[in-house]
Chains A and B, each alone.
Chain A
């Protein structure tokens, strides 16, 4: 079986690189060690043979050149992983949406300090929930916002808007109360695509109480979905169309879509449920865990209304490399300038959340920029190699990491649930990627 997988994998690399014609360089040319990069093969293959994950595509680039692109294992029960396998990148959509917002910022169409209500009036006069002491006649009260939610709040997850799934991550009565309003109002996290437009969802969300005063807490949530709709309002274009014409096409991200075209469905990876102890099953139905609902089969939809700025994009390792490399190049790729150097500096080189920590995927020592977590020091548990490394991840187990100091891009794409089991593997991949630097 392992032999067959090996042969299929070799064939897959050959076929996919024929299709993609991706230029790979010898690692040593860009200051990486071939021998050390092989440790990644060992790590990932071990996870595959232990039945923790079915497969993955891993990409390491340095100085703008791809030195390692390795499909491993299976994309589906009958399909080996290929370099051009398409993945549900889910929350790795968020940096793309953030770039889309910054494009409008550079066109003078918005300011980060603008209240969202300037463009989406439903955000005017929002309320914030405050829990009352135990024994009170009523459990909570709603108080007015001290100031309106701004675009900056949305980009940095400081709006007070939650994910429903957060009741599972950080349960508390206040969060439960806010999420119960979300449930009443038919708000979902968007990982299962609802049959409505993003605008319909956002307008309802705006009427519901915030978890915290704008700017007073870092709470990962639906903020970037709001940005997706904001882009529609400001640009006058459908969100997917805006991203396609302003990001995917200029960056030649030919396999990145909100809804896959029919002819690419065969390249979509299956999703797998792993207990991380050797039981690995293909997911054939929605995965429901409390308020978390994942619908891998939604990735097979070729059309639909819902365009989530926080979760809808499907992409490949190569395409996401092009996006990440554009950021690493301070806004430019292959002669095409998407963003100015100063804007990328604003997004990636600055802590935008003050004394809060962005600990959801990382540890203390990680802050948040405009769309990414940013490493602030090297003294905490999660080290991606340098201060200033920026990265984010996706719910089906995808992660990217950009190290501006060493000029590296690391991308790992898998499709394995549950998400929480992957932190160790991800952290090991960034550690091995960093330690492959040999100049």
Chain B
């Protein structure tokens, strides 16, 4: 009887312990730093570029939304991390061989170009804009930068500005929103933005776009063929992108974010 009783006690104590350990260990157990656990997530680093890639946009912007849709469709496991510095995005691609990066005009050097597989997602037109209150008579753009000589031009750090400097233009750096504020405050004379940027941020209706368009930029994803899954993921991504274009999802996402096809 005694033996059976002891066994029962041990049995119930064991059961009780199983139930208790998980909660008690949280309160009284050793403090386990989360950093001891390895993070296995693959990251795709994106450069902050509103309204296309930005934490301030729904689903982090149209490009992030499309990329996520394709990743999901093709079972590619990766999270998008948007960074506020283009140079950091380039660092991760160049030095840490991350799976992929998203953005535009990466200005990769030769070594990075050889490992980059660029998949364009969206092509958008760019225009010069100015503040109509600063230039009530308007500015006239005929394709020659020299007409802006001596003026203040706003752009992002990491963009190639050599042609502007050669034309005698004073370059000021900043983030898109701060540059637009400076343009509003007439601390900048002109900057280069996409049509969607004007539509989204021209709240006071003071920004005027100069025709014709300066050109087109391609927003897209760059897979890294030095990453163990880079080549395979790029292949799957291309196929997935084609599929969502064919089934209408791509068009729907563009419309959702930008209001047009």
Contact = CB atoms under 8 A, between A and B. Distances in A.
A148 B91 contact: no
A437 interface: no
A181 interface: yes
Given A183-B157, A184-B158, A186-B175, A142 B91 contact: yes
Which DSSP category, helix, strand, loop or mixed, fits chain B's interface?
mixed
B132 interface: no
Interface residues of A, number: 25
A185 B175 contact: yes
A187 B84 CA distance: 10
A187 to B, nearest CB: 8
A194 B175 CA distance: 12
A184 B39 CA distance: 27
B4 to A, nearest CB: 48
Interface in B161-219: 173-175, 177-178, 181
A138 interface: yes
A109 interface: no
Nearest to B94: A138
Interface in A174-204: 180-181, 183-187, 194-196, 203-204
Interface in B100-147: none
A141 B181 CA distance: 34
B83 A186 contact: no
Contact of B83 (A145, A187, A196, A207): A207
Contacts of B181: 195
Nearest to A182: B85
Interface residues of B, number: 27
A208 interface: yes
Nearest to A200: B56
B96 A195 contact: no
Contact of B84 (A142, A180, A186, A195): A186
Which DSSP category, helix, strand, loop or mixed, fits chain A's interface?
loop
B85 A142 contact: no
Contacts of B178: 186, 194-196
Contact of A184 (B55, B81, B82, B88): B88
A146 interface: yes
B19 interface: no
A141 B34 contact: no
Nearest to A196: B177
Contacts of A6: none
A181 B35 contact: no
Q: From A180, A187, A195, A209, name the one whose CB has the most chain B CB atoms within 10 angstroms.
A: A195
Contacts of A125: 39
B95 interface: yes
A144 interface: yes
B84 A204 contact: yes
Interface string B26-38: 0000000111000
A148 B37 CA distance: 13
Q: From B39, B82, B87, name the one whose CB has the most chain A CB atoms within 10 angstroms.
A: B87
Contact of B33 (A147, A196, A209): A147
B157 A208 contact: no
Contacts of A207: 81-85, 88
A179 to B, nearest CB: 12
A301 B188 CA distance: 22
Nearest to A187: B84
B173 A183 contact: yes
Contact of B157 (A115, A147, A184, A194): A184
A368 B85 CA distance: 32
A186 B174 contact: yes
Contacts of B48: 204
A160 to B, nearest CB: 15
Contacts of B86: 184
A115 B91 CA distance: 26
Contacts of A138: 91, 94-95
Contacts of B85: 181, 184-185, 207-208
Contacts of B95: 138, 141-142
A144 B84 contact: no
A207 B181 CA distance: 23
Nearest to B35: A147
Contacts of B158: 184
Contact of A181 (B33, B88, B156, B175): B88
B91 to A, nearest CB: 7
Q: From B85, B91, B95, name the one whose CB has the most chain A CB atoms within 10 angstroms.
A: B85
A148 B35 contact: yes
A184 B84 CA distance: 7
Interface in B46-84: 48, 55, 81-84
Nearest to B55: A203
Contacts of A144: 35
Contacts of A209: 88
Nearest to A203: B55
A96 B95 CA distance: 42
A181 B87 contact: yes
Interface in A126-146: 138, 141-142, 144-146
Contacts of A145: 35
B87 A180 contact: yes
Contacts of A181: 85, 87-88
Contacts of A147: 33, 35
**Closest 5 pairs (CB-CB, A-B):** A185-B84, A184-B85, A186-B175, A204-B84, A184-B157
Interface of A: 115, 125, 138, 141-142, 144-148, 180-181, 183-187, 194-196, 203-204, 207-209
23 contacts: A115-B34, A125-B39, A138-B95, A142-B91, A142-B96, A146-B35, A147-B35, A148-B35, A181-B85, A183-B157, A184-B85, A184-B157, A184-B173, A185-B175, A186-B84, A186-B175, A195-B181, A196-B178, A204-B84, A207-B85, A207-B88, A208-B88, A209-B88
Given A125-B39, A184-B173, A207-B88, 8 more contacts: A138-B94, A141-B95, A142-B95, A147-B35, A183-B157, A184-B86, A184-B156, A185-B84
